[in-house]
Amino acid sequence: MYCVYKYLLFTLLICTSLSSPAQEIQKKKDDIRFHISTGLNFYEEFSQKKNSMVMKMGYPVFQGIQLEVGAGISLIGDNTVHHINLNFRNIPIISSNDGLGNNFLLQKDKSKMTSIQLEYQIQRNLYKNQAFEMDYAPIAGTDFQIRNLNYTSGAKEETSDINFFLGIRSLPSYQISNGITLQAGFDSFFYIPYLNKGTLKKWNAQNKQIEETTYHAFYYRTRLHASLKYMTNTGKRVRLGYRNEKTVGFANSKPLFYIDKLIHHRMNQYHKFFLEYEF
Amino acid sequence: MNSKLNTVMKNTLAIISLTIIISACTEFFAELDADTDWKIYENGPIKLYYKKQGASGVPSPTAEDVESITENQKHYYQAIQDSIQKSFNEPVLIYLYNKDQAEEAIGTSGGGLSQSKYMTIYYTFIHDIAPYTDKYGIVNPYVGAHEMVHVITHNVLGHPGTKMMSEGYAVWLDGSYGRKDINYYLQKFKKEYPEYVLTPTQLLNESIKDEMIYYPNAGILTRYWVRTYGVKKINRLFSTGKDEFKEQFKDITGTSWDKMETEYSSYLNTIKNRGKHSR
């Protein structure tokens, strides 16, 4: 809960900053830019081996390689840059790993996951000193995900959920040379249970549905990122980067901030490698 | 002056936000403990992961322990399916922690927990465990049937709608709590703490949180229901939620909740401690 209070305090401070009339932010031309991106993500969804705080996640793990494509638009104003991004992700094969490399649990060819994420962020400058800039961006978005797990006996589980999240990004950058900028930072996102809904369905090995339960998730997601951006003479930009993304949290039958009737959880980690072209 | 104040405020904000962002990581909620230091022993559907000798300050399971644990679990695996008249064909993974590692890794050093989505049991290996023969005739089992019941029932009957049914099935099918027959608790409660003999309504409402009171009572009630109404009918109540439970109970068994409570009270008075295990 300490972390939640800190987050709320931070959001409050950011709001104060947003409403501040005097901004010493570098004026930029009104502009519209587009970007397209692609990426390869390594997904791991851990089991929850300790339920009490601090929770522990460990083996076995569901894992797979995720393909990602995305597109976005940036509206560049005087003091702010508005970004709208849409990403589509798919894991065509999910297998399990017991920690020793064995997949005892899943029929991997029949287990898959698809997700779509739409996010909106307002980027502003917080601090600038020569080649170093510190930008921040409050962010809001929706996250739709559907995952099918087919167990070895033929039993199946499907979870589908739509979630609304709020967060904050930090975007420190350092201009290494005229055309090359290094950017790294840390983002955090909260998924509010009152705004999220999911459904878990289960079928037994005889393909008879044995369960359909709704759930409301309270997740916390963090993203550590680093990238190199190269700007061409014509103003086009290419960015190559890495993101380490972790999501932890639980989903109850009712929207709650604590575990009551645990239906579902996310305890996952992504290692993401991406390439982006901005024009 | 105003501009100077604004700069100071922004710099302060930058420092605060950086501190918060860097510290606001998922480790506040959940830690990754991806332990791969396991030996594996496979016995049919049972996959036992255990620590090699010398892995910690207390003895790890010997080769004989490993064999007997997996044999016992295989026995429970089949007996549970027979008792609930449902088939289950998934492998079950058992991660067995040495006693001095278990508290940190799984949150208990006196038992364990299960994750039915991962077909997994996390359990403590106590090499100098108290002597006990369970209702299946197994002498000094290191790992009982309780967690195996959770894995199987949650997968074949669905997500439990109440703690009463989830723990009721586990204790009924294990036959014990804390390595003592459930009838022992009933006799003790009747003689010394009559207020600890819980009615079905108290169990449904989870009016007592103490597991040592709640679990044996839930097991005895489930055993009574299965004997009285048959396991097929009681299985249908497994995923029923608390709010609909009484009505569903009447629809499925044909007996009103109030009538059942009266009959159950009479049944409890007839139970005598014969010092033997009772199925």
Q: What is the pLDDT of residues A90-117, one digit of tens each?
A: 999 999 999 999 999 999 999 999 999 9
E strand segments, B101-204: 112-115, 120-125, 176-177, 180-181
**Residue A101's pLDDT is what?**
94
Only one residue has tokens 């940190």, namely B104
| Cross-chain residue pair A49–B106, CB shorter than 8 Å | yes
B209 contacts chain A (CB < 8 A):
no
**Residue A262's pLDDT is what?**
78
Alpha helices in chain A (DSSP H): 2-19
Only one residue has tokens 């002498």, namely B139
Picking from B133, B135, B168, B169, the residue whose alpha carbon sits closest to that of residue B149 is B169
Picking from A263, A260, A265, the residue whose alpha carbon sits closest to that of residue A250 is A265
B205 contacts chain A (CB < 8 A):
no
CA–CA min distance A24, chain B (Å):
8
**Residue B221's pLDDT is what?**
96
| Cross-chain residue pair A3–B33, CB shorter than 8 Å | no
Q: Give CA separation, B68 vs B112, B147, B217, in Å.
A: 18, 17, 30
B91 contacts chain A (CB < 8 A):
yes
Confidence of residue B19 (pLDDT cuts 50, 70, 90): low
Chain B residues within an 8 Å CB radius of A157 = 117
Of B16, B49, B158, the CB nearest to A210: B158
E strand segments, chain A: 31-50, 55-76, 80-91, 95-97, 112-129, 132-150, 156-175, 180-191, 197-203, 209-231, 237-252, 262-278
For B245-254, what is the mean pLDDT? Answer: 96
As a whole number of angstroms, the distance between CA A248 and CA B43 comes to 33
Q: Mutate one of A49, A156, A223 to test the B interface: name it (highest B CB count within 10 A).
A: A49
| Cross-chain residue pair B90–A105, CB shorter than 8 Å | yes
**Joined tokens for residue B87:** 């088939």
Which range has the top average pLDDT, A6-10, A24-28, B183-187? B183-187
For B178-185, what is the mean pLDDT? Answer: 90
Confidence of residue B8 (pLDDT cuts 50, 70, 90): low
Q: Could you tell me which chain A residue has the CA closest to the CA of B120?
A: A60
As a whole number of angstroms, the distance between CA B48 and CA B121 comes to 9
pLDDT at A20 over 50: no
Picking from B248, B106, B275, the residue whose alpha carbon sits closest to that of residue B164 is B248
Confidence of residue A4 (pLDDT cuts 50, 70, 90): very low
> Considering only A100-114, A190-204, B161-175, B246-260, which range has the smallest mean pLDDT?
A190-204
pLDDT at A7 over 50: no
Q: Give CA separation, A11 vs A17, A123, A164, B117, B171, in Å.
A: 10, 14, 17, 36, 47
Only one residue has tokens 């100098």, namely B128
Which residues are bridge partners to A95 per DSSP?
A: A63
Q: How far apart are the first and last CA of chain A?
A: 42
Only one residue has tokens 């044995």, namely A210
**Residue A16's pLDDT is what?**
44
In chain B, how many H helices and how many E strands? 11, 8
Q: Which region holds residue A257: left if phi is over 0, alpha if psi is between -120 and 50, else beta?
A: alpha
| Residue A92 DSSP symbol | S
* Contacts of residue B205, Cβ cutoff 8 Å, sequence gap at least 6: B242
The pairing of beta strand B39-43 with beta strand B46-50: antiparallel
Chain B residues within an 8 Å CB radius of A47 = 115, 117-118, 120
The pairing of beta strand A197-203 with beta strand B112-115: unpaired
Residue A60: asked if its preceding bond is cis (omega within 30°), the reply is yes
Chain A residues within an 8 Å CB radius of B28 = 2-3, 54
Q: What is the three-class DSSP state of A8? A: helix
Mean pLDDT score of chain A, rounded to an integer?
86
B120 contacts chain A (CB < 8 A):
yes
**Residue A115's pLDDT is what?**
96
B 238-257 residues inside an 8 A Cβ radius of A? 239, 241
Of B16, B27, B91, the CB nearest to A152: B91
pLDDT at B46 over 90: yes
| Cross-chain residue pair B26–A248, CB shorter than 8 Å | yes
pLDDT at B147 over 50: yes
As a whole number of angstroms, the distance between CA A140 and CA A149 comes to 29
| Cross-chain residue pair B38–A99, CB shorter than 8 Å | yes
For B32-38, what is the mean pLDDT? Answer: 87
| Cross-chain residue pair B90–A249, CB shorter than 8 Å | no
Count CB atoms within 10 A of the CB of residue A109: 11
Q: What angle do CA A214, A217, A221 make, to 5 degrees?
A: 150
Picking from A126, A110, A278, A91, the residue whose alpha carbon sits closest to that of residue A207 is A110
Q: How many CB pairs under 8 A join A and B?
A: 183
pLDDT at B181 over 80: yes
Chain B residues within an 8 Å CB radius of A152 = 89-91
pLDDT digits (tens, 9 = 90+) for A21-66: 334 344 445 589 999 999 999 999 999 888 777 888 899 999 999 9
- In percent, the amount of chain A with pLDDT more than 70 equals 89
Chain A residues within an 8 Å CB radius of B10 = 17, 24, 126-127
Chain B residues within an 8 Å CB radius of A20 = 6, 9
- In percent, the amount of chain B with pLDDT more than 70 equals 87
As a whole number of angstroms, the distance between CA B125 and CA B140 comes to 12
Chain A residues within an 8 Å CB radius of B23 = 6
| Cross-chain residue pair A99–B89, CB shorter than 8 Å | no
pLDDT digits (tens, 9 = 90+) for B85-131: 999 999 999 999 999 999 989 998 889 999 999 999 999 999 888 88
| Cross-chain residue pair B36–A60, CB shorter than 8 Å | no
Q: Mutate one of A202, A214, A215, A245 to test the B interface: name it (highest B CB count within 10 A).
A: A202
